Structure 1
């Protein structure tokens, strides 16, 4: 039978002491006495069965066992803290928890949210960014994500289709040789790991030879890729709706006229078994109004 887990206060004392390399600084951070921190660390070491810290005159450092234990517990602590803050957010009056992709949050939602806050100044809005493949059935009132209507347990509203365009900064677009680009010979391109099929989809639709991963720069997600394109690092395949404001401000420009449909879209998902609260109803209506006023 597994032994009872160490107490949460002892784990917090351990994490803080390890990060700050000081029992006294950890005590200040956690609003405890240094003696209490030392006692919790000793208790944790007794439970683990070995020393977690090397005690020096003015600092403490992790032992090899301490480094291993910190690596195993730090993510769990962050997960518990995140779950606690999410639960607190749900309990607030006029609380709304929205899960969406990092790209939608950064490039579509954030610039528009002040308008919703003007309509609902008392709203307590929590936005959590998850990748499209992330878990969709955990805490949250609404989810906005991409796909092809594959969510059976939600009420689904399609917001808009995803069309791909090839864009770059004005400087990069100006110096790009269109002939070399159309022949698939341009090196100044940006790949997005979480959207590796974008170049293939766009090239097929535009009649351009595909660009392979041995050419250009590779970045983890669209947020970084679009930012890199703005800074002049190369050409990126972008979701047109996400970079509409950058196109309007001439921060990004199209390097080719092709606009290629992906067959995917952005969808609003809502749990089927949950009574819609007034704040949720207001947010859904606001999203619909914003879309009606936006040219996509």
Structure 2
């Protein structure tokens, strides 16, 4: 059999790579937008095709076998290189175009405002926004730059370098003035947990910014909140917060405009320092285009002053 005919189906390789990277069939199914049974069938088909088990099923999740570990490294590298090459071919090669990847929340609440100023100075540059929630799903070849929260060692996209956009950033408890007028200002962390509606993000990528982490960082004893509103979209929860439906944890720099305009207020005066930094991500192996270089200069310069 030729090497070409020995290749397993691409969807099986994607299912295997995702499950191995996340060590979970459940998380892999969420990322691939498939059912858990579909992901399991694709992995089983791959194992049958190879004639070797790739995973050991454990109570705590998935663990790669020795064969699976070696195969995972090859598959991950191959899929990444294939994605980068495909993205480069799809993209319009132009010094006057710029593709910026970001999450829905950052793009809508912060980045869009930066773009208006940049476009006023450089009207000849065409901008394309690429919205991807998890930066770990970002392929370097499909964008010129990325703007994401970067947490070294935990949120570290392969092949990307990160530059923090702010020297420091605080996490605060935010709500709308309408909510505060209706529910009253909490006098303590305990009252916040017992009486107020807390916005909860159901997303493993955001696990480093949680109410429990915030509470324990303050030295307070954690207890399950009495009232919550949960979603797997931080953007949705921020819009619900603006609509007066509860309180959420938010970065003061990211939501500086909303705070200055009085659309959001701090329900508590207590801050903690953010573990992650809003950062500019740059593909490490690609040469920066003129448009990307100008945008980087724009973002990194104080107050957008590029003179």
TM-score tier, shorter chain, comes to 0.5 to 0.7
Alignment partner of 2:281 out of 269, 272, 276: 269
Q: Deviations over 1:160-209 (max 9, x none)?
A: 34421101111222323524753420242211223354212222233444
Does structure 2 retain, via aligned residues, the 8 Å contact 1:98–1:140?
Answer: yes
2: CA distance, partners of 1:101 / 1:290: 23
Total equivalences in the alignment: 214
5 Å matches for 1:1-296?
89-130=91-132, 131-150=134-153, 151=156, 153-160=159-166, 161-174=168-181, 175-179=183-187, 182-183=190-191, 184-194=193-203, 195-196=206-207, 197-210=209-222, 212=224, 215-289=227-301
Please state how far the C-alpha of 1:148 moved relative to its aligned partner: 2.5
2: CA distance, partners of 1:199 / 1:257: 16
1: CA distance, partners of 2:239 / 2:223: 20
Please state how far the C-alpha of 1:254 moved relative to its aligned partner: 0.3
1: CA distance, partners of 2:197 / 2:242: 13
- Residue 86 and residue 272 in structure 1: after superposition, are their counterparts in 2 closer, same or farther (change >3 A)? closer
Structure 2 counterpart of 1:61? none
**TM-score, with structure 1 as normaliser:** 0.63
The structure with more radius of gyration: 1
Of 269-278 and 219-228, the range deviating more from structure 2: 269-278
Structure 2 counterpart of 1:7? none
Unaligned runs of 5+ in 2: 7-84
2: CA distance, partners of 1:211 / 1:94: 53
Please state how far the C-alpha of 1:260 moved relative to its aligned partner: 0.8
- Residue 227 and residue 209 in structure 1: after superposition, are their counterparts in 2 closer, same or farther (change >3 A)? farther
1: CA distance, partners of 2:262 / 2:171: 18
2: CA distance, partners of 1:153 / 1:88: 19
2: CA distance, partners of 1:292 / 1:93: 21
2: CA distance, partners of 1:94 / 1:193: 39
Q: Deviations over 1:200-248 (max 9, x none)?
A: 2222233444353763100222211111011010111112222111111
Cα RMSD over matched residues?
2.9
Q: Secondary structure at the match of 1:279?
A: helix
Q: Deviations over 1:114-137 (max 9, x none)?
A: 111111111111111222332343
Q: Secondary structure at the match of 1:210?
A: coil
Q: Deviations over 1:260-296 (max 9, x none)?
A: 1132212222222222221111010011125567xxx
Unaligned runs of 5+ in 1: 3-82
